[in-house]
Chains A and B, each alone.
Chain A
Amino acid sequence: MSGEHVIDVTGLTKRFGAFTAVDGVDFDVARGEIFGYLGANGAGKSTTIRMLCGLLAPSEGHATVAGADIARSPERVKRAIGYMSQRFSLYLDLSVEENLRFFAGAYGLSGARREARVGAALALANLSDRRTTVTRELPGGLRQRLALASALLHEPSIVFLDEPTAGVDPAARRDFWRVIRDLARGGTTVFVTTHHLDEAEYCARVGLMVDGRLVALDTPSGLKRTHVPGAMWAVECEAGPRAIRAALEDVEGVVEIEPFGRRAHVRVRGELEDSRRFEVLVAAHCNAGSLRGAHIEKVEATLEDVFLALVGDTRGGPT
C-alpha cells in the first residue's frame, strides 16, 4: 500500500428502522487500488456505496472520501467521485451522445472541455460510431460501458461501481474488467461491488460483507491463506462425492470436504499436504473398494472456497 488513503471508513453504520443494513464497518482504500466489495444480495454492499457517494446519511460512524467528510460535505464528495448504480440509470429515450452531453453538463462541464470529455467517453465506451443510437437499442454490455463512461466524464479520482457486470455476458464482462484495470493503472481508485467471485480475483483487495458486517478484508491470496489453509485436492471417483466424504471424513488431517459437481474438494493440513501421502491414503481406500477408479488433482483454493468457509454453505451465497 502506498499509505495514502483516498477512502477512510470508521465504524460506518446505517439503520433503517430496526434493521441494521451496515453494521460498524471499518476499512480504507489506497489511491489507484481496485477494491472489491463482495457479499450476497442484501448484505449491505449497495447501502455502503450509497453512503460513500453522499446519497445516504450514515446513522453512525465516519467516512472521508477524497478528503471530504461524507456526512458533512456530501456535495464535495459528489464532485470528486463517479458513481454507477446497480440499476441502469441513463435515459433510454435519449441517444448515446445526448446522455453523455447531459451528464457532462450535470457535472458542470461546458464549452471545449465538455466536447473533449464527451469525445473521450465515446472512445472509452467504444461507441464513437453509434453516438446517435438511442440508448434503448444498445445491448446490455454496451449500456454498461456507456454508464461507466458517463460516470467518468468529469475525470473523478474515485469511481464507485455497484454490480457493474450484473446481467452482462462473460465476453462483455471480460472487456469491462479490462477497462477497470486500465483505469486503476491510470491512478483512478475503483471501488467495485460484485457477486461474481471470479471477478473478485481481479481486485487488489477484497472485503467480504455478511449481514451488514465486514467479516474479512485482505488480498485474494491472503484471504485464501487465512481462511482456506492447507492444500486442496479434487478427488473424483465412480461412486461420486458422497462416497468420498464417507471414506475420508474421519481421517486425521482432513479439514473439510465440499462436493463440487461430480468431484469433491478435500482440504487437508499437515502431512497430507504432500501429494504422495495423499495418494497413498486414497489408494488405500481404492483397494478397500469404496473409491474405485479414484482420480486426484491438486486445485488452488478459490474465493468461493473462502466464501464457503466463512459463511457456510447453508446460507444462500453468491453465485
Chain B
Amino acid sequence: MSRRFLVRALAMAHKELMHILRDPQMLGFALLMPVMLILLFGFAVSFDVENLPLALVDQDRTPASRKLTEAFTASKTFEIVARLDEPSEAETLFRSGAARAALVIPAGFERASLHGPEAVAQLLVDGADNTTATVALGYANAVALSSSQQAIVRAVGSFAPPIDARVRTFFNPALRSAIFLVPGLMVMVLTMLAVMLTALTVAREYERGSMEQLFATPVGRVEIILGKLGPYFFIGQVQVLLVLTMGVGIFEVPVRGSLVAVFVLASVFLLAMLMQGLFISVMTRNQMLASQLAAISTFLPALLLSGFIFPIDSMPPPLKIIATILPPRYLVHGLRAILLRGVPLSEIVADIVPMFVFFAVLLVAATKRFKREVA
C-alpha cells in the first residue's frame, strides 16, 4: 500500500514538473521575479535620509552663522539647494517640493551667541513627509546641542555633562537601514512568489476538467497535494538562493550565521507558504479568484504584519494575533537572527515550530476540504 502511495505521489510530482518545463514563461517568471522585486524594493525602500533639499536663509553672514551652516551640511543628510534672503520665501519652495527644510539664521546670531542671552536659529521643516521631518528634527537638535557644548567649552574652558550617554550599536554599527530591511524584503518577495506558485495548480485542474479524471483513479487527496508540493518546493529553493545572493551581493547584508540554518528555516517557510497557495486553490477551484486571494493574503501581511517595517510589539491585539499565526514574521525574525546576529539553528526553533504548525494545519484543512465529488 505505501509503495503504491509513493508511486502515485511521484507520478503526480513528475507530471507537475513536466507542466512547469512545458511552460517556459511561467518558469522564467518564477526565476526573474525575485531578482526584479529585490532590485526594485531594495533600492526604493530605505529609511536612510540623505540629500534632503535645504534652503538657507542666512541673514547674519558672520563666521558663527557659516559655522552653523557647515555643521548642517557636514554629513550627507542635508544639501543646500537655495540661498534665500527672507524666511517667507522658503514656504514657496516647500510648496513646490524644491526644499524640505529651511535653516533660518537671523541677523545678530553671532552677537547673541558670544554675549548672550541666547542665540536663536530656526529650522523650518516640511511636516507633510513625516519620516523626513523626524530625521531632520533629530539632526537639528544634535547640531544645536553640540554647538552649544562647544560654545560652553569656549566660554568656561572645560565642560563635562552630568550624564554622558555612550551608545554603541551592535551588528549594524553604521545603522544602515538596508541591513535591517533587506532580510525583511527577502521575506516579502518569497511570501508573494511561493503562494503564487501553487495557488493556481489545483484550480487549473478543476477548470480544465482533469480533476474529475484524477478523482476517477485511485490517486488520493494527500498524494495529489504532496505531488504538487514537490516540484514547487525546488523552484522555491532556487528563489531563496537568488534572493539571498542578491541581498548579500548587492545590499551587503552580512551572513554571520550558518547557511545550513538559513536553508532549514527557509525550507519550513516554503512548505508553509506553498501549502497556503494549495489551500487557496482547493478552496476556490477557480484560477481567477485563487490568484486574487493569493495576492491579497500575501502582500499586505508580509509587508505590514511581518515586522519587516513595523514592529509587531506595538500593534493592536487583533493584528498581533494575525501576525502570530502567519509565517512571514517568523522568517523575518529568524533570518535577521541568523544573518545579522549569527544565531545558531538551535536558537531559532521558536521560529521554525509555528511555521511548521501552520503548514500541518493547512495540509489537514486542505485535504478535508478537497472534496472528491465533482458536481
Contacts and interface: CB of A to CB of B under 8 A. Distances in A.
Interface in B113-150: none
Nearest to A104: B11
B216 interface: yes
A105 B373 contact: no
Interface centre among B14, B19, B210, B214 (most CB of A within 10 A): B210
Contacts of B22: 93-94, 134
A75 B14 contact: no
B372 interface: yes
Interface residues of A, number: 34
A76 to B, nearest CB: 9
B44 interface: no
Interface in B205-225: 208-210, 212-219
B218 A105 contact: no
Contacts of A57: 373
Given A55-B372, A88-B209, A105 B11 contact: yes
Contacts of B294: none
B15 A98 contact: yes
Contact of B218 (A55, A87, A90, A106): A106
Contact of B216 (A83, A94, A102, A109): A83
What interface size band does chain B fall in?
20 to 34
A78 B214 CA distance: 10
A25 B8 CA distance: 35
Contacts of B375: 16, 56
Contact of A90 (B210, B215, B374): B210
Contacts of A93: 18-19, 22-23
Contacts of B7: 105, 108-110
Interface in A62-95: 74-75, 78-79, 81, 83, 85, 87-94
Interface in B191-248: 208-210, 212-219
The majority secondary structure among interface residues of chain B is: helix
A56 B22 CA distance: 33
Given A57-B373, A108-B218, A85 B23 contact: no
Given A78-B216, A85-B209, A89-B210, A102 B11 contact: yes
B230 to A, nearest CB: 13
B57 interface: no
B12 interface: yes
Nearest to B216: A83
Counting chain B CB atoms within 10 Å of each CB, the highest count among A55, A90, A105, A107 belongs to A105
A53 interface: yes
Contacts of A134: 22
Contacts of B210: 89-91
A136 to B, nearest CB: 10
A297 B3 CA distance: 66
B212 A106 contact: no
A83 B210 CA distance: 12
Interface string B1-33: 001100110111011001100110000000000
Given A78-B216, A103-B217, A107-B217, A55 B209 contact: no
Given A105-B8, A106-B8, A110-B7, A55 B18 contact: no
A53 B217 CA distance: 9
Contact of B215 (A55, A79, A88, A103): A55
A121 to B, nearest CB: 14
Contacts of A181: none
Contacts of B14: 101-102, 105
B4 A106 contact: no
A56 B374 contact: yes
7 contacts: A57-B373, A87-B209, A92-B208, A98-B18, A101-B14, A102-B18, A106-B214
Interface of A: 16, 50, 53-57, 74-75, 78-79, 81, 83, 85, 87-94, 98, 101-110, 134
Given A78-B216, A105-B11, A106-B11, 16 more contacts: A55-B372, A55-B373, A78-B218, A81-B216, A83-B213, A85-B216, A89-B210, A91-B210, A98-B15, A105-B12, A106-B217, A108-B7, A108-B218, A109-B7, A110-B3, A110-B7
* In the A-B complex, the 4 residue pairs with the closest CB atoms: A105-B11, A83-B216, A89-B213, A108-B4
